[in-house]
Chain A
Amino acid sequence: MRRAMVIDTRRCVGCEACVVACKTENRVPEGSYRDWVTQETRGEYPSLELILRSQRCNHCSNAPCVSNCPVGASFYRGDGTVQVDRDLCTGCRACLESCPYGARYVTPEGFVDKCTLCVHRLDEGKPTACQEVCPTGAIAVGDLDDPTSLVSLRLRRGDSSVVAPEAGTHPNVYYVR
């Protein structure tokens, strides 16, 4: 199984419901975010283009947060996601320094946390909290190994991109337009 997220930026209206849903579902501490919405404006007036992206940990296939974690607390779960084992984490923050997307934060208790791709929900057959609440259906989560999954279908449309591919991390959160 290769879990991935494919976000249709043409559907996204930037309502930030995903941000609120994630904060509630995962009890994300005040001042920290597991997901956030980026609003990118390109061009010059009057010819402007607006791209909205709901962003989070990219569950990278070549994750520097995993390779640089000195205790193995950051790990590949084997389903395409990257997770943090809080029972191992020392709070050295080598992973925060290694993540090109700033996807991680330190909890008030001192360990590191980030988007889990809501695997606790996916494992029960439920959608992620952000996917469930998105009013326009911009967010799709599924298995890339399954050619009939919504993520595979969306990616087959072509014209997909990832954030900062130049960082070489091979993200598994894709954006289609």
Chain B
Amino acid sequence: MHPHIEIDSTRLAAHLVAERVWGWEVPVYLFLGGLVAGLMIAVSAAILTLGKERATKAMRLGLLAAPVLLSLGMGSLFLDLTYKLHVFRFYTTVVPSAPMSLGSWVLMLVYPVQLALILALPHSMLDPYLARVPQLAAVRAWAERNVGALALAGLGLGVALGIYTGVLLSATVARPLWSSGALGFLFLASGSSTGVALLMIAERDHAMNALFAKADIVLITLELLLIGSWIVGLATQGPLYREAATLLIKGPYAPAFVGVVVFGGLLVPAALETLSLRGKALHSRWTPALVLAGGLILRFVIVYAGQDVGFVTG
């Protein structure tokens, strides 16, 4: 605020200004949405580039986990609604200008593609159950024949879902910290990286793990660049935006953002993955776990800090 302006108001007196509107449910939803987007992108990209024969057990497990994780995320968003009876309203209209509306419809498209991909590449533990439902055989045969097209749809929907989780924030006008086009791509890169990280935790195939590690290093590098462009963009946009960026760099969120997210969730895992690719460190499941924790904290920090700086103070 300008040093020679002092504001007081009815609402300030009632301590109503600067109340947080969105709590833990939204960052958890954004994290799980991004994670599912990442799983779909990673598995679809592997099918498209390596062929479905190379799909490993971990990828099949990842496909199975995706709808479960997505449902948990949607459950979290449902908990956030303060008028839950009207949740069906999301599906009685399409509002092209509202990311939350477009996102809800993307989520509805994601499920059938996920299920078709699961049928095309079933996990062995599913086989006995699938055999019991003969009607599924035809769907499965169709999915197997069209696995390339399904992977392409999975890739496209994964990218849309990943970007949406960031655009949901950047489309709100009132939060200077979120006011950046980079946010959609940052959440896409971060979601992809957490998806790859989850696969790395389950992956037993050494060669595939090395491939995942390489992909993750590229994604983390992209994330660092996007974080840089977001912060520099804010810092050069004007005093209010600079104030918002400062919250993350040296304000109350700096330990979580710089320490946990950038250092612990991006730089350290990227360094450990590089060392393990060069044979100088053992592959550890802790490395992808750091990426996952960093991705979750990133969303908490952005959602919470974003609500701390606004256009009016009174």
Query: What residues of chain A lie closer than 8 Å to B104, measured between beta carbons?
Result: 70
Which B298-314 residues have C-beta < 8 A from chain A?
307, 310-312, 314
A/B interface sample: 14 pairs, CB < 8 A: A39-B7, A39-B9, A64-B172, A67-B171, A68-B171, A69-B95, A92-B80, A94-B100, A99-B174, A100-B311, A102-B11, A102-B16, A102-B310, A110-B83
**A36 with B310: in contact, given A31-B16, A68-B100 (CB under 8 Å)?**
no
Secondary structure type dominating chain B contacts: loop
A62 to chain B, nearest CB (A): 9
Indicate if the CB atoms of B101 and A70 lie closer than 8 Å: yes
Question: Considering only CB atoms, which chain B residue lies closest to A64 in the complex?
Answer: B173
**Bound-complex Cα distance A91 to B6 (A):** 33
Q: Are B84 and A70 in contact (CB under 8 A)?
A: no
Q: In the bound complex, do residue A92 and residue B100 qualify as a contact, i.e. CB atoms below 8 Å apart?
A: yes
* A163 at interface, CB cutoff 8 A: yes
A16 touching B174 by the CB < 8 A rule? Answer: no
List the A side residues contacting B127 at CB < 8 Å. Answer: none
Cβ contacts under 8 Å, A69 to chain B: 95, 98
Q: Could you say which of A36, A42, A94 contacts B5, with CB atoms under 8 Å apart?
A: A42
Residue in B4, B82, B87, B97 whose beta carbon sits within 8 Å of that of A67 in the complex = B97
* B169: min CB distance to chain A, Å: 8
Known interface pairs A87-B86, A163-B312; 9 further A-B residue pairs with C-beta atoms within 8 A, sorted by A's residue number: A39-B8, A55-B9, A71-B101, A90-B83, A93-B80, A94-B100, A97-B22, A106-B82, A164-B312
- SS of A interface (majority): loop
Q: Which of A33, A70, A166, A167 is close to B100, meaning CB atoms less than 8 Å apart?
A: A70
Interface residues of A (CB under 8 A from B): 16, 19, 31-33, 36-44, 55, 64, 67-73, 87-94, 96-102, 106, 109-111, 163-164, 166-169
CB of B11 within 8 A of CB of A36, answer: yes
Mark interface residues in B82-108 (1 if CB within 8 Å of A CB, else 0). 111011011011010111110010000
> How far in angstroms is the closest Cβ of chain B from A47?
10
A40→B314 contact, CB < 8 A: yes
In this complex, what residue of B is CB-closest to A103?
A: B312
Residue in chain A with minimal CB distance to B86: A90
**Which A residue's beta carbon lies closest to that of B303?**
A97
Tell whether A68 pairs with B9 under 8 Å between CB atoms, given A90-B90, A97-B22: no
CA A99 – CA B86 in complex, angstroms? 22
B138 at the interface (CB under 8 A from A): no
A69 → B minimal CB distance (Å): 6
Minimal Cβ-Cβ distance residue in A for B93: A72
B21 within 8 A of A: yes
Partner pick for B173 among A88, A92, A96, A169, CB 8 A cutoff: A169
Once A68-B100, A93-B82, A168-B173 are accepted as A-B contacts, the answer to whether A33 and B4 lie under 8 Å apart by CB is no
- Contact indicator per residue, chain B 163-207, by CB within 8 Å of chain A (1) or not (0): 000001001111100000000000000000000000000000000
